[in-house]
Amino acid sequence: MTLTVLFAAGDAAFAEYREPLSDAFLHHNLEITLVTEAAPAEVDYIIYSPSSTLRDFTPYTRCKAVLNLWAGVEKIVGNPTLTQPLARMVDPALTRGMVEYVCGHVLRYHLGMDAHISAPAGQWVAQEPPLAPERVVGILGLGELGRACAKALVGLGFAVEGWSSRPKTMPDVTCHHGAEGFNTLLQHSDILVTLLPLTSQTENILDARAFSQMRDGSWIINPGRGALIDDDALLEAIGNGKIAGATLDVFRIEPLPADHPFWAIPKVTITPHIAATTRAESASHVIASNIARAEAGKTLLHKVDPQRGY
């Protein structure tokens, strides 16, 4: 039977995805008509990204699943018209990208690289950074991405601690959970990485109270979501030296408006939501294999729990 798959992720993405998706469908023995427009009642699956104009899922009565091209689902999970199962993107290439981004920025702060990069010519100031085991990297969120980053940082020798909603165990990682665990992680971390989804529970989780618990001169790396951080509280914490530097990849408004104060602060490094991009070839295989699973009557992988919001 031929399935109709609606690509609702924007025209630019369609140009990028059309061929890799067709190859992946073939690879998974799926007969699929891939379209950007269709009568809603004839659509079997929807491939979605927040750049889509699709907001009302009600008419898609035959649709068996909505497959998000993004790992984060905060822009769709609360849609009251979405009654179809939602799967988010979990992809080895995306995970690898995040591991590289996080390790790169952790090493930059750990080694104090900025001091050398921006040192005036002729300035010969030798510093001895601590070695990795003396440096605690705290990771908020021990999901697909947080766990992979934790493992890589352990491999580099860092003392890694993590925090999640439910209790977890991980080799060589001190795992915390709950409100008390959150405070402990903040108090221990020299470098704090935020890899939480944005939900009503996590919005503004890094606020003035949280910053006040952190070590003096600690660093923050946020590739999670902009609204995890209270921007004003971060500006204040940087201003008073509590936070020595922040690398931010995600923002409440993207692109970050030109007049946002973050742009003017040298201690803030801004990257344009590139920590881990979804790459068409690998993501297409994830989508195709999930459709193949659903068609074989198996449960969808990476299904979002609407109650939890991630």
Catalytic residue numbers, as ranges = 225, 273
Instruction: Fill in the DSSP letter of residue 90.
Output: -
Contacts for 33 with CB less than 8 Å, ≥ 6 apart? 2, 3, 4, 5
Q: Does 141 bind ligand NDP (CB under 6 A)?
A: yes
Q: Does 50 bind ligand NDP (CB under 6 A)?
A: no
Could you tell me if residue 121 is left (phi over 0), alpha (psi between -120 and 50 degrees) or otherwise beta?
A: beta
Give how far the C-alpha of residue 200 lies from the chain's centroid of Cα atoms, to the nearest Å.
Answer: 16
For ligand NDP, which residue of 102, 145, 220, 268 counts as binding (CB under 6 A)? 145
**Side chain identity, residue 78:** G
Q: Does 226 bind ligand NDP (CB under 6 A)?
A: no
Q: Which does 143 bind (CB under 5 to 8 A by kind): ligand OXD, ligand NDP, none?
A: ligand NDP
Beta strands 218-222 and 243-248, pairing class: parallel
Closest approach, Cβ 160 to ligand NDP, in A, equals 14
Site string for ligand NDP, 5-44 (x = CB under 6 A): ----------------------------------------
For ligand NDP, which residue of 71, 102, 210, 214 counts as binding (CB under 6 A)? 71
Q: Which is nearer to ligand NDP, 28 or 225 (CB)?
A: 225
Q: Are 295 and 289 in contact, with CB atoms under 8 Å apart?
A: no
Q: How many other β-carbons are positioned within 10 Å of the β-carbon of residue 185?
A: 23
Q: Which does 158 bind (CB under 5 to 8 A by kind): ligand NDP, ligand OXD, none?
A: none
Q: Are 204 and 192 in contact, with CB atoms under 8 Å apart?
A: no
**CA distances in angstroms from 201 to 84, 234, 259, 268, listed in the order given:** 24, 19, 29, 25
Q: How many residues does the chain have?
A: 310
For ligand NDP, which residue of 138, 197, 226, 245 counts as binding (CB under 6 A)? 197
Q: Which is nearer to ligand OXD, 143 or 306 (CB)?
A: 143
Among residues 224, 264, 221, 225, which one has the least CA distance to residue 110? 221
C-alpha triplet 257, 260, 261: angle, nearest 5°: 160
3-state secondary structure of 289: helix
For ligand NDP, which residue of 44, 57, 72, 160 counts as binding (CB under 6 A)? 72
Query: Residue with CB nearest ligand NDP?
Result: 143
Q: Does 196 bind ligand NDP (CB under 6 A)?
A: yes
Beta strands 191-194 and 136-140, pairing class: parallel
User: How many whole angstroms separate alpha carbon 96 and alpha carbon 71?
Assistant: 13
Q: Does 225 bind ligand NDP (CB under 6 A)?
A: yes
Q: What is the largest CA-CA distance in the chain?
A: 72
Closest approach, Cβ 174 to ligand NDP, in A, equals 15
Closest approach, Cβ 302 to ligand NDP, in A, equals 8
Closest approach, Cβ 254 to ligand OXD, in A, equals 10
The footprint of ligand OXD (CB under 6 A) covers: 70-72, 89, 278
Q: Which is nearer to ligand OXD, 199 or 278 (CB)?
A: 278
Q: Which is nearer to ligand NDP, 43 or 197 (CB)?
A: 197
Given the rule CB under 6 A, which residues bind ligand NDP? 71-72, 90, 94, 141-146, 163-166, 195-199, 201-202, 223-225, 249-250, 273, 275-276, 310
